[in-house]
Amino acid sequence: MTRPLAATWNPLDWPLTHGVIPWVVLVAGWAALLLLALSRDPRWWTRRLPLAVLLAAALTVALQLIVDDWWHPFAEGLPHPVTFWIGVAILGLCLAGFRMPPLPWRGRALAVVGAALVVLMASSQINREFDQYPTLRVLFAPWLTETEVLSTGPATSTLTVPPGKVLADVWHPPAGLPAKGTISTTTIPGTRSGFDARDAYVYLPPAYQANPRPLLPVLVLLPGQPGAPADWVNSGGLQDLMDGFAAEHQGLAPIVVVSDGTGGPFTNTLCMDSRIAKVQTYLAQDVPDWVHTHLQTATGRRSWAIGGLSFGGTCALQLAVNAPQVYGSFLDISGQDEPTLGSHGKSVNEAFGGDEAAFDAVDPLHVMARQQFPDTSGVFAVGSGDGEFRPQQEKMYAAAQKAGMKVLYQTYPGGHSWTVFRAALQQNLPWLAQQTGLIR
């Protein structure tokens, strides 16, 4: 995703999460915080500095209480590193605010610059934690990149695959085949579910433009929560990953539909059919129905896979066990051992009115305990340093084995971050292509 500064002239492609830039920002931020905290005025040390520190501490605690106990947009709560760096940013703002009243206008301007450097440092460190924006190009992607119009016209003929063969065995790329695929946005309505989903992204590989058209397999990909379908395209570098795979396989790659499972960045639907929303119906019926209507693809459960990260990984496993007639394989990246709104009791109460049996009927752990899935294949992938999600992935991997699934367990260097999410998808593209009948 990123390259050393010397490898590119464009600042948009300079790495933000490793190398020189984040270290310069870190040093500048701590220096600014130190200068904001120092003063020759005795009253600063006895009155204003203690008040600034106390106010920053109180605001940080209040923010965490509001987010984790009142608003509660994240099932796991604010990660401790995020809380720490938010607190540092608030401290920088408070120090600048208490420094400014007696200063001349130049001093006030310097205090504002110092506070901005502290906030920049905190933002940089949070970004390093999750690797959400590895470059400025990714950060500004919504304004810098444009999607193409989705090609929904049918080809005049399609390529058939004889029994016992895979698509790559009979595929011969025609002259003039595009070198790269396309990314488009589209609305996939909740016709049966009534779910109001955000626009999906559709990747069509180069081979989709051929005539006769090969009937390619489909990967439905889900973002995390908080998150949006655009995360896989921007932070995940989806087109580069898929185009790279297609370049190694004569233009062949799965069609990817990056769908929405929450309806909003901070909404948690549990990816179930419940009082909250009918997301299982949306992903198991509405999305496949739309694909079959608007695109020419392979059909049958073997040709369809579902994957995702964090919430999306949990959701992928849920669909694999609750809609096995649709999805024959899954990729669970850093998922949970149970769909959750923060606690088991809260999840059951808000989704099913306290009905434990209704929750157990669709909870993957309970489904796998009572049902066998010998024809389902899956991968559980997680960061080796992910102390919260790694034990949960190990638990679900063991349960999937007992349920007769053909599953793999993988760890990648890193924590709960895009460093892991990107690597897991890239490394498993060949596996997904094999499971869905694209290559051997």
DSSP character string of 224-288? -SS--THHHHHTT-HHHHHHHHHHHTTT---EEEE--SSSSTT---TTSBSSS-BHHHIIIIIHH
- Whole-number pLDDT of residue 5: 53
- Whole-number pLDDT of residue 6: 52
Residue 8 in any domain: the answer is no
Residue 143 in any domain: the answer is no
Beta bridge partners of 189: none
φ, ψ (nearest 5 deg) of residue 321: -95, -25
Is the domain of 184 the same as that of 120? no
Taking alpha carbons only, the member of 217, 222, 196 closest to residue 205 is 217
Q: What is the mean pLDDT of residues 347-360?
A: 97
pLDDT at 402 over 90: yes
3-state secondary structure of 355: coil
- Contact between residue 261 and residue 25 where contact means Cβ atoms under 8 Å apart: no
Express each pLDDT in 104-149 by its tens digit. Answer: 999 999 999 999 999 999 999 999 999 999 999 999 998 888 888 8
List all residues 6 or more positions away from 150 whose beta carbon is below 8 Å from its beta carbon.
Answer: 182, 184, 185, 186, 202, 204, 294
Express each pLDDT in 164-219 by its tens digit. Answer: 999 999 999 999 999 999 999 999 999 999 999 999 999 999 999 999 999 999 99
Is the domain of 107 the same as that of 207? no
List all residues 6 or more positions away from 359 whose beta carbon is below 8 Å from its beta carbon.
Answer: 347, 348, 351, 352
∠ CA 256-257-260, nearest 5°, is 145
Is the domain of 120 the same as that of 224? no
Calculate the average pLDDT of the chain.
Answer: 95
Residue 440 in any domain: the answer is no
Q: What's the gap between Cα 423 and its chain centre?
A: 12
- Whole-number pLDDT of residue 1: 45
**Burial environment of residue 287 by CB neighbours within 10 A (0 to 12, 13 to 18, 19 or more):** buried
Express each pLDDT in 4-23 by its tens digit. Answer: 555 567 889 999 999 999 99
Is the domain of 301 the same as that of 421? yes
Q: What is the mean pLDDT of residues 408-427?
A: 98
Is the domain of 197 the same as that of 122? no
Residue 13 in any domain: the answer is no
pLDDT at 102 over 80: yes
- Whole-number pLDDT of residue 142: 86
Is the domain of 319 the same as that of 180? yes
- Whole-number pLDDT of residue 149: 87
Is the domain of 330 the same as that of 376? yes
Residue 12 in any domain: the answer is no
- Whole-number pLDDT of residue 75: 84
**CATH (domain of 186):** 3.40.50.1820
The percent of residues above 90 in pLDDT, for the chain, comes to: 91
pLDDT band at 73 (very low <50, low <70, confident <90, very high): confident
d(CA 310, CA 347): 17
Number of domains in the chain: 2
Amino acid at 238: L
Lookup: tokens for 419: 């460093």
Express each pLDDT in 256-288 by its tens digit. Answer: 999 999 999 999 999 999 999 999 999 999 999
- Whole-number pLDDT of residue 2: 46
pLDDT at 326 over 70: yes
Is the domain of 373 the same as that of 236? yes
User: Kind and range of the H or E element at 329?
Assistant: strand 329-333
Q: Which domain holds residue 23?
A: 18-130
Residue 11 in any domain: the answer is no
- Whole-number pLDDT of residue 146: 83
Lookup: tokens for 97: 């605010």
∠ CA 211-212-217, nearest 5°, is 105
List all residues 6 or more positions away from 321 whose beta carbon is below 8 Å from its beta carbon.
Answer: 364, 367, 368, 371, 373, 376, 403
Is the domain of 297 the same as that of 179? yes
Residue 90 in any domain: the answer is yes
Residue 377 in any domain: the answer is yes
- Whole-number pLDDT of residue 9: 77
Taking alpha carbons only, the member of 215, 245, 199, 181 closest to residue 425 is 245
Is the domain of 97 the same as that of 206? no
Beta bridge partners of 219: 256, 305
- Whole-number pLDDT of residue 71: 87
Taking alpha carbons only, the member of 160, 199, 200, 202 closest to residue 181 is 202
User: Kind and range of the H or E element at 411?
Assistant: strand 406-412
Is the domain of 201 the same as that of 161? yes
Handedness of CA 191, 195, 201, 204 (dihedral sign): negative
- Contact between residue 409 and residue 394 where contact means Cβ atoms under 8 Å apart: yes
Is the domain of 342 the same as that of 250? yes
